[in-house]
Each structure stands twice: as structure tokens, then as C-alpha cells.
Amino acid sequence: MTTSTDFLVSRKGLHETKFAETSLALKPGQALIKIDHFAFTANNVTYGAFGDAMMYWNFFPAPEGWGRVPVWGFGDVIESTHAGVKVGERIYGYLPMSTHLVVKPARVTPQGFFDGAAHRQKMSAVYNNYLRVDADLAYDEKREAEQALLRPLFMTSFFIDDFLANNDFFGAREVVISSASSKTSLALAHLLHANRRGQVAVVGLTSNSNTAFAEKTKYYDRVVAYNTIAQSPHDTSAVFVDMAGNGEVRAAVHRLWNENLKYSCSVGATHWDKMSGGGDLPGPKPMLFFAPDHIKQRSQDWGQAGVDQRTAQAWKPFIISVDTWMKITPGKGHAEVERVYRDTLAGKANPEQGHMLSL
């Protein structure tokens, strides 16, 4: 019997939190993972904000009325009753903000396994896949923090870039990205700037306080503060990638570009507390981009080996580039985990910091 410590969030309000302990015992065919460390970014706030609507709360069961926010990180198998998963293996994948996780390995390969637990099967398989680090093409022991912090976001960005390019950017000459200082936006801007230079310009929208940081990364051709959107050049056709989920920002973009806006998609909700608003918008109807659906399609097109090869190839130059702007900030214990969670929830997180946490 093992006792796990869990960080719980009220499903009725993201500001209400508590720590709790759960007793875990393995059944036949299961494995116990000791969670080493995990990343926490604005993307994890999105998981909480859409916890019910997109079933993020379903991955890791919690007491009635509470949820465990999913995170990405690393852990070690410390106990196993499954012949295909050995004690001592290090894995990377989707984890709860906890000290331990019980999984039921299924579809076991030399590269990893899926959690076959019944409660996880309705959700996208992308989130149920655990990679053995020894077989992971993108793994670098010295870059675990960067992988946990950026790789899930990078994957989303990679497939947004692929989707837009596959549709010839809907005929647009600019890609406008909200929440420009968020890590998903930065990864997308890097890919667009590196791969599509001369084809499309990359415009970042962010708060006044983060404009200098966004410019410092050199991923954007132009950075615009939210309160100056109305004065931004808008005579060039554009597509809008909405990472913020802020209704006021979305409305401002649609009204400014109007007929010059060729496509609008919603990806995240870094401004989770301002998701409402906007009303009837001019221009195209905003569409939801759900990365796992596009990953599934490309897995069929390219094969899993093709997906792994393409993403690993694109990942390497990006991870080198982040050394110029991101500082890894470790944190351990209840107080640090709660502080980082609340700062991120309140939009106070420093975009230059990459928080790696452990309980």
C-alpha cells in the first residue's frame, strides 16, 4: 500500500484548492509510477477551465466535486504487476499533480505503452500514451525540464502550423496570434518564422507588460499590445489563431480585419476568466482547433514513425532557441506548487520562467 499526495481543485471554482492523501494498491496488470517532476504553464490552466467541457477531469479521478489538473512530466516505475513494464523504467507523459499514479499498461511496445484504464478510454489516445525515455527520439536527459514544459505545447503548435500550411493559410498573408508570450504561441511563431519566412508574416498580440519579452524572442515580425489593436495595420489578409480565449480580444481582431480575416481558430484559453463576450462577429466564424484530432489524421497519413521523425526534427532547433529567453525555475513542496498554480491562474506568471514542480 502506497500513499499518494494529490493537489485538488474545486470543479466549481478554480481558486478553491486543497491537498489530500489517497491510498493506492496495485491490482494484477497494473504499474505504479512515482512522479518525479512536472511542468506547470498557462496550458494547464486551460485544462482546468475546460475540465468539464472537454473531459480533462476524467483522466485522473478525484473525490466528488474536485479535480486533478493534468500536467506533463516524468516519473519512474516503482512497482509493477505487468510483465511488459519493469520497475526502474523512466517514463514521460500525462500526469496528475500528485506524487503517484497507478496505470494499467496496454498496447505495450518498446517505445512505451498506453494507460488502458476504463475511465480514460473515451478521451483522445494522445493523452494516454506514456513514452519510455530510452526509446524516445526527442529525449535528452539534460533537457527534461524543457521537454515537460514545451513539448506538449510544441506538438500543438507543430500541428497548427501543419494545418495552416496544408490549407495554404486560407489565402492569407499574415498569421495573427493572441497571447503572444504564452509558450504555445511562442512555439507556433518560431515554426512559422522558421518554416514560412517570406510566405506569411507573424503578428503577436499580448499585454503591454509582455510586449518587450515577445519582441525579445525574435519569433514575431510585429508585436501589438492588446490596447492598441485598433491602431494596428490591417490591410493585409490574415488568419487569427486565438490562444487567449479572451472575448474582447477576439472581437477586436474580427472587427479590425473584418473581410480581410480569412480564417479564425480557437486553441486555448490563457485568459480563462474572460472567455465570454464578443457577440456576433464580422468575418469567419471561429472554429475550434483540437490538436489530437489532427495528430490522429497525420498518424494515418505519415505513420507513427513519420510523425515522430518530423516532430523530432522540428523540435531540435526550437529547443536550442529557447535558451535565449527561458529560465528553468524548480519548485518543490505544497507551498511552491500552490503558489505557482495561483500565480498562473491570476495571469501573474513571468513568461521567461519555466516552472518545474514536484510534490
First to last CA, the chain: 19
User: Could you tell me which residues come within 8 angstroms of residue 235 by beta carbon, excluding any fewer than 6 positions away?
Assistant: 260
- Predicted confidence at residue 268, as pLDDT, reads 60
Q: Position of cell 515580425?
A: 221
- Predicted confidence at residue 106, as pLDDT, reads 96
Summarised one tens digit per residue, pLDDT across range 131-184 is: 999 998 788 899 999 999 999 889 889 999 999 999 999 999 999 999 999 889
pLDDT surpasses 80 at 292 = no
Residue % of the chain over a pLDDT of 90 = 69
What value does the mean pLDDT take over residues 115-139?
90
CATH code for the part of the protein at 2-136+326-358: 3.90.180.10
Sorted by where each begins, the domain ranges of the chain are 2-136+326-358, 151-291
Q: CA nearest 158: which of 45, 350, 302?
A: 302
pLDDT surpasses 90 at 358 = yes
What value does the mean pLDDT take over residues 76-80?
98
- Predicted confidence at residue 279, as pLDDT, reads 54
- Predicted confidence at residue 252, as pLDDT, reads 93
- Predicted confidence at residue 291, as pLDDT, reads 74
- Predicted confidence at residue 109, as pLDDT, reads 94
pLDDT class of 277 with cuts at 50, 70, 90: very low
pLDDT class of 197 with cuts at 50, 70, 90: low
Cell digits for 50?
A: 475546460
The Cα-based distances of 214 to 181, 211, 264 in angstroms read 5, 5, 22
CATH code for the part of the protein at 151-291: 3.40.50.720
